[in-house]
Structure 1
Amino acid sequence: MAMQFSVLASGSTGNAFYIETERQRLLVDAGLSGKQLEQLFAQIDRQLQDITAVLVTHEHSDHIKGLGVIARKYRLPIYANEKTWKAMEGMIGEIPTEQKFIFPLGKVQSFDDLDVESFGVSHDAAEPMFYVFHHEGKKLALITDTGYVSDRMKGTIENADVFIFESNHDIEMLRMGKYPWNVKRRILSDVGHISNEEAGMALADVIGDRTKRIYLAHLSQDNNIKELARMTVAQVLANKGLEAGGQFDLCDTDPKKATALVYV
């Protein structure tokens, strides 16, 4: 059976991503309440108790808010790197030792019929990392929460069949918006988030012959709009000779509504 996935929720208020194969059902991040996560799973006709593992990207609350609750309720195994485990102490409550697993940065870990590759990003967390999923020759790359996309990151994610890719903010909306200057400076920094324009520029370097879908993810609630993100990224790609709607589609994600469960 081919890989299927859904972006359960994505945005500045909470993030969760689901991927399944014939033998594995993985959740990446749990940045919403336990109840909200259960509702999102119901939207794609799946259940949290069937999850085989939870992978954590980093310790910020919009990625781990419901982690402790669902881990205890459903006795789920959790994978994170050592620095992230340490940073999560006191944030997710007690997790039984037998449910805690180390997934080192820069490694490939096999979950039965699904190989998962971790890679580092540039974000103000202990040791943030995202994932590339490999199954039967298909490749799905998940990358948000990074202040820039380095050549090393591009080399890891390039020519994926599907990208879930950060397009956090419109620079002018952020600059003119209500956030205090120190928060704006953090978002615009090399350990913050990438803008719509930066997303387009980075995507132009990694889209390949096999790329079919790009999901624009982790949009700021206050400093972005879906239509603006999609339009900006499409324009940057068009300037590079890459036309959305042709070989590949640009897709939205939502902070409260899961994307349809689709095959890679």
Structure 2
Amino acid sequence: MRFSVLASGSTGNAMYVESERTKLLIDAGLSGKKMEELFQTIGRSLSEVDAILVSHEHSDHIKGVGIVARKYNIPIYANEKTWKAMETSIGPVQTDQRFHLETGSNLSFQDLTVETFGVSHDAADPMFFVFHENNRKLALATDMGYVSDRIKGTLKEANALVFESNHDINMLRMGRYPWNVKRRILGDMGHVSNEDAALALADIITDKTRHIYLAHLSLDNNMKELAKMTAEQVLLEEGVTCGTGGVLLHDTDPYHPTSLQIV
């Protein structure tokens, strides 16, 4: 199993996962043209994708879903409430391209099994994904107001995680956002801060965990260096070693994909 975080941040989110026989796109929060460019960068084509999985209906996750699905005749999988919430935003989709994947269920695509789980976020029924293939486990968890014990248990034993580290609390509080937006981000239906992300990761990481990608960083209220430094410091305090001989921390970017990583 291999994956690339194609784009991550408030301007658009997308991730690509492949196994020997299956190729999946998770969210497509950028234009169709940009999605094609991102795939070219990692040496892949949208024409090869077997399915698009949608986490929730926010525009930074679905902007290109309809366009890409129609152009390349790709089936779309989302839960019932997300389908209802995004229908007017993604445009017409043929009946034979519409599939339901409900929160808390599992679905196998040939050699790749997708496990879904719900998160706390201000969307209709937001869910994220764990991918299983040949005893390897990859987890994607962003857009969370907080990380529950249930989610920690779901993500535990993952070999690689793409995990939200959205904002630095002090930068957010001192920043230009109006108070109602700050309150939304800081709330239980918003986004996870750098420190809270690191504390949650300390409970999730096991000896199997090798790669962590810090994702969905705010352009206004975070920096890659700050997110990574906070994670390293908190994890060290919690007894988790980062770097050589320990867990490897990786950046993600809103405009450039990460290289394909073997899980």
TM-score (normalised: structure 2):
0.99
* Runs (4+) off by over 2 Å: none
Partner residue in 1 for 2:258: 259
From 191, 205, 208, the equivalent of 1:207 is 205
Correspondence 1:191 to 2:168: no
- After superposition, give the CA deviation of every residue in 1:59-99 in whole Å (9 maximum; x if it has no partner): 00000001111111111100000000000021000000100
Q: CA deviation at 1:233?
A: 0.9
Q: How many residues align?
A: 262
2:147 maps to what in 1?
149
Give unmatched runs, 5+ long, in structure 1: none
Amino acid at match of 2:123: A
Task: Give the TM-score normalised by structure 1.
Answer: 0.99
CA distance in 1, matches of 2:116, 2:99: 14
Alignment correspondent of 1:86: 84
SS of the residue corresponding to residue 175 of structure 1 reads helix
Partner of 1:233: 231
The equivalent of 2:11 in structure 1 is 13
What is the rounded CA distance, in whole Å, between the counterparts of 1:205 and 1:216 in structure 2?
16
CA shift at 1:239, angstroms? 0.4
Q: CA RMSD, aligned part only?
A: 0.5
1:221 paired residue number: 219
Residue deviations 1:225-244, cap 9 Å, x none? 00000000111100001111
Classify the secondary structure of the residue corresponding to 1:257: coil
**3-state SS of the aligned residue for 1:90?**
helix
Match of 1:173 in 2: 171
Q: Where does residue 247 of structure 2 map in the other structure?
A: 248
What is the rounded CA distance, in whole Å, between the counterparts of 1:98 and 1:210 in structure 2? 39
For structure 2, the residue ranges without an aligned partner over 5 or more in a row are none
Deviation at 1:159, TM superposition (A): 1.7
> Secondary structure of 2:82's partner?
helix
Are residues 1:132 and 2:127 paired? no
TM-aligned CA deviation for residue 25 of structure 1: 0.4
Deviations 1:178-237 (A, max 9, x none): 001000000000000000000000000000110000000000010000000000011110
> Aligned partner of 1:235: which letter?
Q
| SS state at 2:200 partner | helix
Q: Measure the CA separation in 1 of the matches of 2:18 and 2:29.
A: 19
Alignment partners' CA distance in 2, 1:188 and 1:83: 24
How high is the sequence identity, in percent, across the aligned residues? 65
Task: Give deviations 1:119-150, integer Å, cap 9, x for gaps.
Answer: 00000000000000000000001000000000
Matches of 2:87 and 2:139, distance apart in 1: 28
